[in-house]
């Protein structure tokens, strides 16, 4: 019922590619780009130049340009709202171990990563927006983007325009596992990064997983086939439910679209819509991509929480009664006018989301993927005095006498 990729089957070839890139750098990138993309590059053509980026803006029509700018503004606004500010607070108060005010100050300081890598599949300019903008909102100074070249060696103009307005520092025409390796290890041309985000094909996903074995580079999460689950009752329009399911299947043959409903009428009507579309060859997808399950509304929610879908639509009379029971989903879309496609492009919420059940333990891409949180502790002499006895007892109980001494010494030394 879930689309699965046999990632293990490509680990060996991907690991070989990654080790080759680590050893030979740009020479390996040039070789793999010619082999896999059919593009012959020189060393100085790996990076996209300023002139090509400027030319991209004039190459796309104004209507699309305005749409990309609208989406960029929405993504920036949403992720700016997510961002947490550093804070400090007085944790010493009457009756507390710290005693009077000002003796124990604690806080969190949020620090952006210095350099991150973004992988953008060919011609998916919306993904450039979704990955680069949150990194810049988080304060990352260096955002390095890789995307595969087209047959002529150029990058899709909309992708270059989107990456530029989003704030990408440098853009490289390299794709696949070799791009992930270049970002992780660094080459003569591509700088090494601390973390890599962005979706990709099975080879990109395998490379990101292997990073844990070969490097200390972090990733966002493994990306599997895309999926949508729709919880709906008989108030939902069958044609629109079917349209959203078919839209999700457009991502590829491994993508899945599931309808969970307590209405036999809706189940039958949606099935007819999908089968008619398949018979008329409106889409090239196969019916195995679609699943329709019926049961009580509580059973639908229970199944959704177990499945942990990437996208969850709720199209029922009382959607917030359902929402409060939902625990596991990458992103939730409520109501008949909240299709997944809106979030894919223009609402401002991120479309890079956990799949394959990872939504039960991971969140979608956000500003926190590009930041670290450090705790800060400021203790006065009086504050430490109030805590001293407890610290010393616990340190000695754990067999750490030097920990105890480090506290006691502050009160036995001469000033």
Task: Give the residue numbers annotated as catalytic, written as ranges.
Answer: 310-311
Whether 348 and 77 have beta carbons less than 8 Å apart is answered as yes
Whether 312 and 329 have beta carbons less than 8 Å apart is answered as yes
Strands 104-112 and 87-90: antiparallel
Tokens (6 digits) for 231: 């919880």
Whether 132 and 118 have beta carbons less than 8 Å apart is answered as yes
Spatial distance between the Cα atoms of 160 and 165, rounded to a whole number of angstroms: 9
Dihedrals phi, psi of 83, to nearest 5 degrees: -60, 135
Whether 39 and 153 have beta carbons less than 8 Å apart is answered as yes
Task: Classify residue 68 as exposed, middle or buried by CB count within 10 Å of its CB (0-12, 13-18, 19+).
Answer: buried
First to last CA, the chain: 71
- Eight-state DSSP code of residue 284: -
Cα dist from 27 to 31, 42, 177, 193, 300, whole Å? 6, 9, 15, 19, 53
Whether 289 and 256 have beta carbons less than 8 Å apart is answered as yes
Buried b (16+ CB within 10 A) or exposed e, 234-249: eebebebbbbbbbbbb
Spatial distance between the Cα atoms of 168 and 147, rounded to a whole number of angstroms: 12
The radius of gyration of the chain's CA atoms, rounded to the nearest angstrom, is: 26
Strands 311-315 and 290-294: unpaired
The separation between CA 14 and the C-alpha centre of its own chain, rounded to angstroms, equals: 22
Q: Which residue has the tokens 């009160």?
A: 411
């Amino acid at each position: 019922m879930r689309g699965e990729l046999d990632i293990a089957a490509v680990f060996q070839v991907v690991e070989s590619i990654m080790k080759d890139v680590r050893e030979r750098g740009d020479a390996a990138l040039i070789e793999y780009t010619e082999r896999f993309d059919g593009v012959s590059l020189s060393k100085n053509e790996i990076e996209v130049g300023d002139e090509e980026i400027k030319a991209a803006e004039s190459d796309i029509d104004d209507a699309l340009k305005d749409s990309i700018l609208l989406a960029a503004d929405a993504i920036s606004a949403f992720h700016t709202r997510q961002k947490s500010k550093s804070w400090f607070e007085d944790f010493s108060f009457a009756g507390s171990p710290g005693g009077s005010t000002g003796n124990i100050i604690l806080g969190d300081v949020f620090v952006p990563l210095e350099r991150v890598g973004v992988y953008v599949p060919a011609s998916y300019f919306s993904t450039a927006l979704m990955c680069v903008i949150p990194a810049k909102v988080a304060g990352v100074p260096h955002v390095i983007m890789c995307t595969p070249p087209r047959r002529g060696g150029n990058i899709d103009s909309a992708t270059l325009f989107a990456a530029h307005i989003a704030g990408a520092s440098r853009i490289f025409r390299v794709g696949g596992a070799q791009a992930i390796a270049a970002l992780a290890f660094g080459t003569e041309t591509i700088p090494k990064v601390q973390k890599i985000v962005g979706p990709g094909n099975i080879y990109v996903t395998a490379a990101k997983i292997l990073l844990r074995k070969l490097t200390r580079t972090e990733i966002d999460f493994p990306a599997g086939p895309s999926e949508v689950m729709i919880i709906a009752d008989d108030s939902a329009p069958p044609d629109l439910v079917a349209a959203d399911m078919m839209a999700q299947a457009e991502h590829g043959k491994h993508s899945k679209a599931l309808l969970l409903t307590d209405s036999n009428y809706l189940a039958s009507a949606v099935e007819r819509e999908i089968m008619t579309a398949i018979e008329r060859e409106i889409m090239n997808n196969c019916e195995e991509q679609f699943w329709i399950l019926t049961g009580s509304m509580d059973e639908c929610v229970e199944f959704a929480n177990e499945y942990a879908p990437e996208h969850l639509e709720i199209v029922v009379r009382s959607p917030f009664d359902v929402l409060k029971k939902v625990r596991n989903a990458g992103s939730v879309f409520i109501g008949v006018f909240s299709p997944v496609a809106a979030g894919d492009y223009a609402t401002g919420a991120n479309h890079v989301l956990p799949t394959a059940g990872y939504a039960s333990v991971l969140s979608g891409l956000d500003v926190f993927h590009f930041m670290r949180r450090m705790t800060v502790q400021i203790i006065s002499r009086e504050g430490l005095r109030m805590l001293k006895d407890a610290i010393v007892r616990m340190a000695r109980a754990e067999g750490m006498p030097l920990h105890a001494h480090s506290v006691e010494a502050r009160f036995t030394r001469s000033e």
